Structure 1
Amino acid sequence: MGTLNAANTMINAAEGGFHAPSMSEFFPAPFLFEGTPFEMNRVMLIRLIATVAVVLVLAVWAKRMKLVPGRFQSSMELAMEFVTVGIAEDTMGKERAKKFMPLIVAIFFGILFWNVTKLIPFLNMPGTGVIGLPLVITLAVYVTYHWAGIAQKGLGRYLKDALILPGVPPAMHILLIPIEFITKFVTQPFTLAIRLFANMMVGHLLLVLCFSATSFFLFDASNGFQFFSILTFAGGMFVFLLEMLVVVLQAYIFALLACVYINSAVSEEH
């Protein structure tokens, strides 16, 4: 009898009581300007909200700076010092970091705000969970570090430093130059975008899965299956707390790797 009840519960779930998350959530129907280059859907709206939010936060912080800082100003100064000193200057050096600081600050805070929307009620979707935005940010970094390297060294020397490893027998260059080309010009930007996109997408799907299962077990399941809502809710809260770390960590990693790639491109040492 217990087996039959369990089977009935699973059948009810399959008939509509429980809806597992799917990739369709990342491609919602447009609600404005459909069929135009300015098409607006829920994900685009979330990105726009996060962009406006980060601009407002930074503008308010800059406008209201005081000699004796309050809590908001102190928090922002700590965050800014973490980016400017802890990421940019520690990676590229103080003088070199000054030139690229606006880009690194924009990358860190932009990604942080686009990521954190996945944890905000009624938004519940990361702006970076669809590959387009990570690709655009990656393209900005890609163009910057290649442009900086060419401007610093000239095209010929830049390509030589990027593709030819010193101290390697000439015959090995036949094998190593294509590998270095793929690494520097294809793999680096590809992995930069995919790392951010995949982490945000998977985290969102896990959150939706846990809390959808909680709702099902709590309101739709029967015959003692409500108990499982406690387990799925606990799992959802664990994922939520983990994602709080991930949204910051991914912004940090992206900004750090941007600094590493720029520094490598302009460095005199190969």
Structure 2
Amino acid sequence: MTLAGATIRAAESPPQPGPADFNLPPIFEVAGFGVTKPMVLVVVSALIVFGVTYAMSRKAAVVPGRLQFAGEAVYGFVRNGVARDNIGAPDYHRFVPYLFTIFCFVLVNNYYGLIPFFQFPTMSRIGYVVAIALIAWVVYNGVGIARHGVVGYLRNQTLPPGLPWWIVPIIVPLEFLSNILLRPLTLTLRLFATMFAGHLLLILFALGAEYLLLHSDNPLAIPGGILSALMGIAISFLEVLIMFLQAYVFTLLTAMYIGLALADEH
């Protein structure tokens, strides 16, 4: 039994899953460069998002079919519940395609962790989360600078109106740190840590159940293994919700940051 490349390392001792189980070996090489499972899954997820959205919109009709209806429902959710509510008219329209893409991309990569054979949420590897968080950082800072100019944008982000003069030297560095430097870090850690911890729990309960049921002579091993398997199933159902929420929260915070960057003052 394997999960995310993790296996029972020794039948004589209980499994000890940890961060090493997320460092998967290359599955093939290209010009001497090892290509790992997460690399393949990221590329496949981009193809899935493109293919599904293309299929949903290819035969668009006034009376939508089931596939078109599902696509419009997700698009409408991002447009109305995320972009419009947090960026506001008239600016939100131009950011909907980006936010829709980010939501779908993160969602697919999260749900890999529950799909047989894939069984690995690529967002549990911090490098991929850092990449999309940096893209969000460039987008919201870029639109803010384009709207207000460099000086005006930095003033809006670091100098709340109505402050007494004596507190400005304290607040400005704190606001700069919070609004300019730390936002991509918080985006990264929130998504990465949740996906990492959730999948580590799945590894723990799955391999624990296998060890207790198949390799342990302890009289309590059978009920313990059954309980471990049931806990793994329960965690899997919980992960269905958490994986969706993390994609939603990442997209929501990105929209909020864009809205704040475009606003005249905070």
Q: Output the amino acid matched with 1:131.
A: I
Cα deviation 1:114-167 (Å, max 9, x = unaligned): 111001011111111111111111111101111111110111111111111211
The reply on whether 1:64 has 2:59 as its aligned counterpart is yes
- 1:28 corresponds in structure 2 to 24
> CA shift at 1:34, angstroms?
6.9
Alignment of 1:40-59 (within 5 A): 40-59=35-54
Residue 235 in structure 1 maps to residue 231 in structure 2:
yes
- Of 12, 19, 37, the match for 2:15: 19
1:100 lines up with 2:95 in the alignment: yes
Per the alignment, residue 264 of structure 1 pairs with 260
Deviation at 1:108?
0.4
Query: 1:158 aligned to 153, 159, 164, which one?
Result: 153
Contact 2:129–2:192 (Cα < 8 Å) also in 1: yes
Q: Which amino acid aligns with 2:125?
A: V
Query: For 1:110-189, what aligned pairs fall within 5 Å after superposition?
Result: 110-189=105-184
**Deviation of residue 177 (structure 1)?**
1.0
1:3 aligned residue: none
Tell me the SS of whatever aligns to 1:21. Answer: coil
Secondary structure of 1:128's aligned partner: helix
Give, in whole Å, the separation in 2 of the partners of 1:224 and 1:142. 52
Larger CA deviation: 14-23 vs 207-216: 14-23
TM-score when scaled to structure 2?
Answer: 0.91
Query: In the TM superposition, what are the counterparts of 1:239-250 in structure 2 within 5 Å?
Result: 239-250=235-246
List gaps (5 residues or longer) in structure 2: 1-8
* TM-aligned CA distance change 1:34 to 1:78, over 3 Å: same
Give the whole-Å Cα distance in 2 for the aligned partners of 1:77 and 1:241: 26
Query: Which whole-Å CA distance do the structure 1 matches of 2:172 and 2:199 have between them?
Result: 39
- How big is the shift at 1:14? 7.1
User: More helix by proportion, 1 or 2?
Assistant: 1
TM-fit CA distance, 1:224: 4.4
Whole-angstrom CA distance in 2 between matches of 1:43 and 1:34: 18
2:216 maps to 1:221: yes
Residue 96 of structure 1, CA deviation: 1.0
Deviations 1:18-75 (A, max 9, x none): 3222212222122313764xx4111111222222111111111111333333332222
Q: Report the Cα distance in structure 1 between the residues aligned to 2:56 and 2:129, rounded to whole angstroms.
A: 26
Q: 1:89 aligns with which of 69, 80, 84?
A: 84
Q: Where does the alignment leave 5 or more consecutive residues of structure 1 unmatched?
A: 1-12
C-alpha distance in 1 between matches for 2:40 and 2:14? 27
CA gap 1:224/1:180 in 2 versus in 1, 3 angstroms: closer
**What do you get for the CA RMSD once the two structures are aligned?**
1.8
Q: Which deviates more, 47-56 or 240-249?
A: 47-56
SS where residue 182 of structure 2 aligns? helix
**Displacement, 1:17?**
4.9
Aligned to 1:201: 196
Q: Matched residues in 2 for 1:35 and 1:181: separation?
A: 43
Q: TM-score, normalised by structure 1?
A: 0.90
Q: Which amino acid aligns with 1:50?
A: S
Output one character per residue of 1:167-205: Cα deviation in whole Å (capped at 9) or x when no partner: 111111111111111101221110001111111111110
Which one-letter code corresponds to 2:245 in the other structure? L
Supply the distance in 2 between the matched residues of 1:77 and 1:16 (Cα, whole angstroms). 53
Please tell me whether the aligned partners of residues 88 and 104 of structure 1 are also in contact (alpha carbons under 8 angstroms): yes
Question: What residue in structure 2 maps to residue 5 of structure 1?
Answer: none
Total equivalences in the alignment: 257
